Amino acid sequence: MSLIFDPACRRCPRLATFLDDVREQHPDYHAAPVAPFGSDAPRLLIVGLAPGMHGANRTGRPFTGDYAGILLYQTLHKFGYASAAEATAADDGLQLQNVRITNAVKCLPPQNKPVGAEINECNAFLASEIEALPRPLVLLALGGIAHRAVIRSQGLKQKSFPFGHGAEHELEPGLVLVDSYHCSRYNTQTRRLTTAMFESVFETIDGLIAGRK
């Protein structure tokens, strides 16, 4: 088993039992821990919250086949990270370049809400993944939970790195965290997160990767 990902993980009893139930109700769903997707040597690592019921939990690929992936993959395509602007299935041929997508929690949580113990239990996988990736590396946290998971994975104090849309945090030389509101249906429909706001975050990321910042 790789410390970065365990496809048979059952560390969290509530999540494991829930996935068992989902698998019975939807035998054609992935209904298992969802592996990271993308480059093995990225310049950008995107950290989401957890798989969605009818998105990543169904398709087996992060942000694929659900509403939250619409803005994400459109933006990745516009900025040259994705070969297409839409992600519909794990076998749709979509390829990522210089970017990798992972989640703070690798298993579908009931009501899309993991509890603190589950976020903490899964943190070792995130920590190992970040540690294994080459530097320099930019991390993009989608939402406050992902942000806090990244800070925890690095053994840093939360109060020293407050979450804020568009905020930049140097965690160590060669490792920078950028925050964004999550590209969820709620956030985009209420315009808490607009396309322009999200693209502005990627402009910041492009500047960091190019060494302009």
| pLDDT higher than 50, residue 1 | no
* pLDDT tens digits along 116-127: 999 999 999 999
Integer angstrom CA distances of residue 107 from 94, 151, 155, 197: 22, 20, 23, 28
* Digit-coded pLDDT (tens) for 81-109: 999 999 999 999 999 999 999 999 999 99
| pLDDT tens figures, 6-35 | 999 999 999 999 999 999 999 999 999 999
What's the Cα-to-Cα distance from 160 to each of 55, 153, 204, rounded to whole Å?
Answer: 34, 14, 21
* pLDDT computed for residue 172 by the predictor: 96
93 φ/ψ sector (left φ>0, alpha ψ -120 to 50, else beta): left
Q: In what order do the strands lie in the sheet with 168-172?
A: 37-38, 99-103, 44-48, 137-142, 175-180, 168-172
d(CA 24, CA 86) in angstroms, rounded, equals: 29
Residue type, 158: Q
Mean pLDDT, residues 141-163: 98
> Does residue 3 have a pLDDT over 90?
no
Residue percentage of the chain with pLDDT more than 70: 98
> Which pTM was predicted?
0.97
Q: Give the residue carrying structure tokens 């009893």.
A: 13
pLDDT reported for residue 212: 67
Asked, as a colleague might, if the bond just before 110 is cis with ω within 30 of 0, I would say no
DSSP per residue, 31-88: -SPPPPEE-SS-SEEEEES---TTTHHHHSSTT-SSTHHHHHHHHHHHTTSBSSS---
Structure tokens that stand for 139 in this block: 């991390």
- Is the confidence at residue 2, as pLDDT, over 80? no
Helix or strand or coil: residue 121? helix
**Per-residue pLDDT tens for 42-83?**
999 999 999 999 999 999 999 999 999 999 999 999 999 999
CATH code of 13-210, in short, is 3.40.470.10
Confidence at residue 211, expressed as pLDDT on a 0 to 100 scale: 87
